[in-house]
């Protein structure tokens, strides 16, 4: 596998095609090649992972801006083709992005993910060691990707430092007196086979996260569960 910046029009058009492959042909959030190209001229990051045959199989895209006088980066999209998942490509792309931002003196990046997707929660909290910044209800509206169908687009906004090496997970998920918010083992499977349950999971976790954040609790870890056991966020006062 090779990870490098995407700069040629061939690379950028391949990235556009990969977005549709990952999120579906009806996805209306595809970033066009023209915007991908100009972003790199103002401190953005557009990078891809290529397999042994030279085909693009993953990418990361983000924009750089200013927050209260400090340079920050918003990692807007990270995607890996279904044919290449499970091989650490997502982590490698994030680390490439972090290293690129260091050269620009950007010390922090943000992104969002759906808190109902247990594998993403494990990746973000236990592998990368992110911190949760906020919970936003229906951040992107209804969404047109099959991955979003029927349950809205609630998101956790997370923060990751670009300094140092990839941190360890932020806790062992065993804080005394902590609050647990469970999530389903496979939300995508529920969306496909039992939408009623999928909606109930969204409503239940939305209420729990909103209440916990309003009470000043913070996510201190994620218990990925075992087998059919649901995963659970661990929240406590820090």
Predicted pLDDT at 150: 73
Is residue 164 pLDDT above 70, yes or no?
A: no
Highest mean pLDDT among 45-59, 115-129, 176-190: 45-59
Closest CA to 208 of 188, 230, 227, 180: 180
161 Cα distance to chain centroid: 15
Closest CA to 64 of 75, 54, 56: 75
pLDDT band of 206, cuts 50, 70, 90: very high
Q: Which domains, and CATH codes, for the chain?
A: 2-170 (3.40.630.30)
């Amino acid at each position: 596998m090779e990870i490098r910046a995407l700069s040629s029009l061939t690379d950028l058009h391949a990235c556009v095609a990969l977005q549709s492959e990952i999120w579906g042909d009806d996805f209306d959030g595809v970033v066009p090649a023209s915007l991908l190209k100009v972003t790199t001229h103002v401190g953005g990051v557009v990078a891809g992972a290529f397999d042994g045959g030279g085909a693009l199989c993953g990418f990361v895209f983000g924009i750089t801006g200013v927050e209260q006088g400090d340079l920050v980066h918003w990692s807007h999209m990270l995607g890996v083709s279904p044919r290449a998942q499970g091989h650490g490509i997502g982590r490698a792309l994030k680390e490439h992005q972090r290293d690129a931002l260091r050269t620009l003196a950007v010390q922090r990046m943000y992104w969002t993910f759906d808190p109902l997707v247990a594998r993403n929660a494990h990746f973000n909290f236990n592998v990368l060691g992110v911190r949760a910044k906020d919970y936003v209800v229906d951040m992107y509206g209804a969404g047109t990707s099959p991955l979003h169908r029927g349950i809205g687009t609630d998101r956790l906004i997370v923060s990751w430092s670009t300094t140092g090496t990839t941190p360890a997970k932020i806790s062992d998920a065993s804080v005394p007196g902590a609050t647990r918010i469970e999530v389903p083992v496979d939300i995508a499977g529920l969306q496909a086979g039992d939408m009623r349950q999928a909606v109930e999971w969204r409503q239940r976790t939305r209420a729990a996260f909103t209440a916990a954040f309003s009470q000043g609790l913070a996510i201190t870890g994620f218990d990925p569960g075992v087998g059919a056991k649901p995963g659970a966020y661990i929240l406590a006062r820090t």
